[in-house]
């Protein structure tokens, strides 16, 4: 098991390194000169001043030298300073947004896992009956609905028309912090984020459970007189969860994309809103730092998923 964890950890570190190279190259090769983001258009600068600024920022160096300098600083925790927020370091700014994003994504994925697995079990047990047909139709609608459309429709119906939930933010302005207030603002975006993931988990769970229910050991358990509830929950569901665990780990990256749209629509103060604002203002240090932190978190979650899969299915450790 330790050898398996070591191999997966080494692969994860290589993926983070590759991600840092990709982020740096994409931003450096984007249209426009990076130095334009550091210049106030209303303040004219002479060519000598521009060249001095380029030298101070290290933009006169070849790309490999620039990348190695940025990577060396990043490994020491120095991601630079925000261009649009004068004097604000990138790392504390990014880490301050991690908590709201984790809260939103964690709540949304928890709802998706519980609802998806429960609906998948019901759909498989009641195969071709009206619960199965109804849940299948709803799952297809959830899978085919884009995150931005779901967010906008949910905001319009539940916040504007019905007024069941706040329309944005993490807490009510001008009021002291309270857990109930945060939960009131959290429930709508978390539920909207969970729709697509719950639909996918349900489809995988249904398909996997139907395959397991046709195995010999399930028929043997039934022949021994084991109650149907325990046949489903104890003998079939555990083995049916193996592909679902893999799916849950792979949906983390998709959830990040959905969270970006949701945080923008609901003005949720997380990583997604920070990235959108940084892209709009061409705040390169914030974009690079936030993207690297998000990517590293996704890779770390996938590493934990692989380890969890190895605990559930020992055959994975020797593969």
Q: Cα 40 from chain centroid?
A: 34
Instruction: Say what percent of the chain tops pLDDT 90.
Output: 1
Tokens 């990040």 correspond to what residue? 256
Whether residue 69 is predicted with pLDDT greater than 70 in this model: the reply is yes
Instruction: Say what percent of the chain tops pLDDT 70.
Output: 92
pLDDT for 152 equals 85
Q: How far apart are CA 286 and CA 279, in angstroms?
A: 9
Greater pLDDT, 249 or 241:
241
Per-residue pLDDT band at 316 (split at 50, 70, 90): low
Return the structure tokens found at 114.
């519980």
Greater pLDDT, 128 or 32:
128
Q: How far apart are CA 70 and CA 87, in angstroms?
A: 18
Q: How far apart are CA 12 and CA 303, in angstroms?
A: 7
pLDDT for 319 equals 53
Domain boundaries 94-318, corresponding CATH code: 1.10.3720.10
pLDDT for 315 equals 59
- Highest mean pLDDT: which range of 180-189, 243-252, 294-303: 180-189
Per-residue pLDDT band at 115 (split at 50, 70, 90): very high
Do the Cβ atoms of 193 and 155 come closer than 8 Å?
A: no
- HSE-CB at 171 with a 13 A cutoff on CA atoms is 10
Return the structure tokens found at 52.
């001095």
Question: DSSP string covering the chain, please?
Answer: -HHHHHHHHHHHHHHHHHHHHHHHHHHHTSSS-GGGGGS-TTS---HHHHHHHHHHHTTTS-HHHHHHHHHHHHHTT---B-SSSTT-BHHHHHHHHHHHHHHHHHHHHHHHHHHHHHHHHHHHHTTTSHHHHHHHHHHHHHHHS-HHHHHHHHIIIIIIIS--S-SSSSS-TTS---HHHHHHHHHHHHHHHHHHHHHHHHHHHHHHHHHHHTSHHHHHHHHTT--HHHIIIIIIHHHHHHHHHHHHHHHHHHHHHHHHHHHHHHT--SHHHHHHHHHHHT-HHHHHHHHHHHHHHHHHHHHHHHHHHHHH-GGGGG-
Residues 181-237: pLDDT tens digits? 888 888 988 888 888 888 888 988 888 888 888 777 777 877 888 787 778 887 788
How many other CB atoms are there within 10 angstroms of residue 294's CB atom? 23
Per-residue pLDDT band at 260 (split at 50, 70, 90): confident
For residue 81, what are the β-bridge partners?
Answer: 89
Domain definitions of the chain by residue range: 2-61, 94-318
Q: What is the rounded average pLDDT of the residues 245-252? A: 74
Whether residue 59 is predicted with pLDDT greater than 80 in this model: the reply is no
pLDDT for 263 equals 84
pLDDT for 261 equals 78
Residues 28-58: pLDDT tens digits? 777 766 776 677 666 666 777 777 877 877 7
Q: What is the rounded average pLDDT of the residues 159-175? A: 82
Whether residue 318 is predicted with pLDDT greater than 60 in this model: the reply is no
Do the Cβ atoms of 109 and 308 come closer than 8 Å?
A: no
* Widest Cα–Cα separation across the chain: 88
Q: What is the pTM of this model?
A: 0.79
Q: Minimal CA–CA distance to 98: which of 253, 286, 252, 272?
A: 272
Q: Minimal CA–CA distance to 186: which of 105, 75, 90?
A: 105
Q: What is the rounded average pLDDT of the residues 4-24? A: 84
Q: What is the rounded average pLDDT of the residues 117-144? A: 86
When the pLDDT of each residue in the chain is averaged and rounded to a whole number, the result is: 81
Do the Cβ atoms of 194 and 130 come closer than 8 Å?
A: no
pLDDT for 291 equals 85
Do the Cβ atoms of 218 and 236 come closer than 8 Å?
A: yes
pLDDT for 43 equals 67
pLDDT for 159 equals 85
């Amino acid at each position: 098991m330790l050898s398996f964890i070591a191999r997966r950890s080494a692969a994860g570190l290589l993926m983070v390194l590759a991600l840092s190279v990709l982020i740096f190259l994409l931003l450096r090769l984007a249209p426009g000169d990076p130095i334009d983001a550091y210049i106030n258009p209303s303040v004219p600068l002479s060519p000598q001043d521009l060249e001095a600024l380029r030298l101070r920022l290290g933009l006169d160096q070849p790309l490999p030298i620039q990348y190695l300098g940025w990577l060396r600083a990043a490994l020491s925790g120095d991601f630079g300073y925000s261009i649009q927020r004068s004097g604000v370091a990138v790392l504390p700014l990014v880490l301050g947004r991690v908590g709201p994003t984790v809260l939103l994504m964690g709540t949304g994925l928890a709802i998706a896992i519980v609802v998806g697995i429960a609906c998948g079990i019901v759909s498989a047990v009641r195969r071709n009956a009206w619960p199965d047909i109804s849940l299948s139709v709803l799952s297809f609608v959830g899978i085919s609905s884009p995150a931005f459309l779901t967010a906008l429709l949910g905001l319009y119906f539940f916040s504007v028309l019905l007024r069941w939930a706040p329309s944005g933010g993490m807490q009510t302005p001008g009021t002291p912090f309270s857990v109930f207030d945060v939960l009131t603002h959290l429930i709508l975006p978390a539920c909207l984020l969970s729709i697509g993931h719950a639909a996918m988990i349900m489809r995988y769970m249904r398909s996997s459970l139907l395959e397991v229910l046709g195995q010999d050991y399930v028929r043997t358990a039934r022949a021994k007189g084991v109650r149907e509830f325990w046949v489903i929950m104890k003998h079939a569901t555990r083995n049916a969860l193996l592909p679902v665990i893999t799916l849950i780990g792979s949906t983390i990256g998709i959830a990040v994309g959905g969270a970006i749209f949701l945080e923008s629509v609901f003005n949720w103060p997380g990583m997604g809103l920070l990235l959108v604002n940084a892209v709009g203002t061409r705040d390169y240090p914030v974009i690079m730092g936030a993207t690297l932190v998000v990517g590293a978190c996704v890779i770390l979650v996938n590493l934990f998923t692989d380890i969890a899969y190895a605990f559930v299915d020992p055959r994975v450790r020797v593969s």
